[in-house]
Amino acid sequence: MLDLKFVRQNPQAVADGMARRRFPLDLPAFLALEERRREIITDVERKKSQRNTASAEVAKIKRQGGDAAHVLAGLGALSEEIKALDEKTKEVDALVSEWLLGVPNIPHATTPDGAGEADNPTIRLIGTPRTFDFPIREHQDIGVSLGGLDFERAAKLSGARFVVLRKGLARLERALAAFMLDTHLAAHSYEEVATPYIVNAESLVGTGQLPKFAADLFKLEGMASYLIPTAEVPVTNLHRGETLPQSALPVAYACHTQCFRSEAGSYGKDTKGIIRLHQFGKVELVRLVHPDTSYAELEKLTGHAEAILQALDLPYRVIALCAGDLGFSSAKTYDLEVWLPGQDKYREISSCSNFEDFQARRADIRFKPEGGKKSAYVHTLNGSGLAIGRTMAAILENHLQRDGSVAIPKALVPYMGGIEALTPEGK
């Protein structure tokens, strides 16, 4: 969340940042709470001064051997009033915290202006989309012909927007996860972690999914626990409530998980194929870094995700999300969009974001600077490295052959046990 002190001192700067986001900020509500809080604190301080004066008077009367009963009675009443005002202060503080939890991050100065997806500028294009001399097809048709995508049985088991992977595609999913993790560990110096798929509400508050995006989550009935929407949640929260030594930074984790999203509000979108499922695999990259280096770290993180696309020979582009298209917690985001020839468009396959201290403040993740100075919040970053289902879809469409087979990218062949192509059933 935003720094409360900053909001109090710079309400207009906050309002300007939210205007860039096209976020309807209820700043008058915050200012009214702040005015109420100041009134209560002024009242408390006045009554505490009266109590101190009365206490001194009681002491003086007792030293003189007098009866201080009448002063003590008033002192007791003052103490009760102060106690009641302290409770009101807590109530107002709770309302301020609730208000803050609903306010998104302020866009970084280098985040481009814009209202939405159409205003996101392209930063670079990598690779040349292939020219086909035979009819191109979408990934779901290719996957079904390979006997590897079974939507009917998935629907029988779980409902819409699930898939059963079979044969070569089941192996391809496993190969992709292993390849991505091995690359990030060996080439990019990440530490692999394996985390639970169920987290508590505090973890989701820490990374910004709660309270605002509860409808996007799968909540366990009768429990204050949820299935993870992304490994960002458990991995970032590994250090919730901790103060790290500066020498430990940057902390870099890579984690493969299944992710679970209700996709609330996306009905009718991407209903075909494996682009938008309720459950999907992903390798997530999370970095906890020094504030002075976080934007250099964002470029580095983005490069790590790009390396996977390059190794798999998949054309892609990098776009910068404009302020109106930023995620709730992000100050700056690059999206990697892979080319899908069957759809004749680029589709998101990774979002790489710098949250600055927004998540760290919610999750209370700090570092202690060298020299014993006061602790400060780390900056958190994360990005997909990559979304496995979408990577699989891109491989199926980009590496489709005339005979209906799909060539396996060379980097994946060792992970596929030497298999160089997936062939349609019956061939």
Q: Is 276 a catalytic residue?
A: yes
Q: Is 261 a catalytic residue?
A: yes
The active-site residue, picked from 20, 37, 161, 261, is 261
d(CA 251, CA 45): 44
Q: Which two tokens stand for residue 119?
A: 């205003």
Element (H, E) at 366: strand 366-368
Q: Which two tokens stand for residue 34?
A: 């702040």
Q: Is 63 a catalytic residue?
A: no
Closest CA to 386 of 308, 328, 294: 308
d(CA 405, CA 128): 21
Instruction: Find tokens 């990374």 and name the residue.
Output: 207
d(CA 362, CA 418): 47
Q: Is 287 a catalytic residue?
A: no
The active-site residue, picked from 36, 130, 174, 276, is 276
Q: Is 348 a catalytic residue?
A: yes
Q: Which two tokens stand for residue 417?
A: 């046990």
The active-site residue, picked from 297, 390, 397, 405, is 390
Cβ 380 vs Cβ 365: under 8 Å: yes
Beta carbons within 8 Å of 373's beta carbon, 6+ residues apart = none
Look at the alpha carbons of 36, 39, 42, 45 in this order and tell me if their dihedral is positive or negative. negative
The active-site residue, picked from 203, 351, 384, 405, is 351
The active-site residue, picked from 57, 202, 263, 348, is 348
- Can you give the length of the chain in residues? 427
* 191-196 LR contacts (CB < 8 Å, sep 24+): 191/251, 191/252, 191/253, 191/254, 192/253, 192/254, 192/255, 193/235, 193/238, 193/253, 193/254, 193/255, 194/255, 194/256, 195/228, 195/231, 195/234, 195/235, 195/238, 195/255, 195/257, 196/228, 196/234
Element (H, E) at 47: helix 27-63
Compute how many other C-beta atoms are within 10 angstroms of the C-beta atom of residue 343. Answer: 17
| Residues annotated catalytic, as ranges | 261, 276, 348, 351, 390
